[in-house]
């Protein structure tokens, strides 16, 4: 049986060993949801970078530069971090240098710890993601990006959704973080939106008068067939895209 661990925030990573394991990075609101939409639109590759200054450097190499801090697009950049921005067909075939407050940081920290594979997960690609996880036949770590190294509700909720989706014939929960994620999802699976709208990040969007309903969008199941994965320093997609809706 492969084991499942849930890590609530990147700050806890030093307590874990990622070697030989598949790591799914989760940032439901919104980085990993946005990345799934980008690849579903046909983006070629995404370079997760640590800071806006580093991101800016890639402009001269014909990258689209995308930066978000505190849920707001950084001025002077081509794009922010709303999934709605990434449905634009202009992005097909493009390379994006991308930095967000939590999601890209979690990806880069996980990469430093020598996992077997890093996958990008969201509700938008949950079935394709779980197929890929099963194919790998490795122990699984569900890494939540959280908010500035603190716990957030929606990432752990999604970790529970993955555990439920995988079922318990090939996987077993190894720790209480996985158990609590599973029971959180099981208790709220009939109305995820009602729960997530109570989250601190949904509250941030409200206070920012976000013009799009990113919470509703990011809770849609299976609108993307892609499963972004790390290859060297880049995120790429090798999973066939579904026909474009």
Which residues bind to ligand MLT, rule: CB under 6 A?
A: 27, 29-31, 68, 71, 81, 100-103, 145
- Smallest separation, CB 199 to ligand MLT (Å): 11
- Smallest separation, CB 87 to ligand MLT (Å): 16
Name residue 117's beta-bridge partners: 22
Q: With respect to ligand MLT, which residue has the nearer C-beta, 144 or 177? A: 144
Q: With respect to ligand MLT, which residue has the nearer C-beta, 143 or 173? A: 143
Q: Are 24 and 129 in contact (CB under 8 A)?
A: yes
Q: Which two tokens stand for residue 237?
A: 């997609």
Q: With respect to ligand MLT, which residue has the nearer C-beta, 31 or 124? A: 31
- CA 143/CA 10 separation, integer angstroms: 7
- Smallest separation, CB 207 to ligand MLT (Å): 12
3-state DSSP assignment of residue 111: helix
3-state DSSP assignment of residue 99: strand
Q: Are 104 and 48 in contact (CB under 8 A)?
A: yes
Q: Which two tokens stand for residue 2?
A: 């492969």
Number of residues that make up the chain: 245
- CA 92/CA 69 separation, integer angstroms: 25
- Smallest separation, CB 146 to ligand MLT (Å): 9
- CA 238/CA 166 separation, integer angstroms: 21
- Smallest separation, CB 121 to ligand MLT (Å): 13
């Amino acid at each position: 049986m492969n084991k499942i661990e849930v890590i609530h925030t990147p700050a806890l990573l030093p307590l874990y060993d990622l070697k030989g394991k598949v790591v799914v990075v989760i940032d439901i609101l919104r980085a990993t949801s946005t990345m799934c939409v980008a690849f579903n639109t046909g983006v070629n590759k995404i370079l997760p970078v640590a800071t806006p200054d580093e991101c800016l450097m890639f402009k001269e190499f014909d990258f689209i530069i995308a930066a978000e801090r505190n849920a707001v697009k950084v001025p002077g950049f081509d794009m922010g971090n709303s999934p709605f921005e990434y449905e634009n067909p202009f992005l097909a075939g493009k390379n994006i240098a991308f930095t967000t407050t939590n999601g890209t940081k979690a990806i880069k920290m996980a990469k430093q710890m020598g996992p077997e594979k890093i996958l990008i997960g969201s509700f938008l690609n949950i079935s394709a993601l779980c197929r890929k996880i099963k194919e790998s036949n490795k122990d699984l770590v569900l890494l939540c990006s959280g908010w500035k190294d603190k716990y957030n509700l929606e990432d752990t909720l999604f970790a529970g959704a993955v555990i439920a989706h995988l079922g318990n014939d090939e996987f077993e929960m190894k720790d209480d973080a996985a158990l609590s994620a599973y029971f959180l999802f099981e208790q709220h699976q009939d109305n995820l939106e009602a729960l997530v709208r109570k989250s601190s990040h949904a509250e941030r969007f409200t206070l920012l008068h976000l013009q799009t309903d990113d919470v509703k969008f990011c809770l849609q199941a299976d609108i993307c067939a892609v499963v972004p994965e790390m290859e060297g320093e880049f995120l790429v997609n090798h999973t066939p895209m579904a026909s474009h809706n």
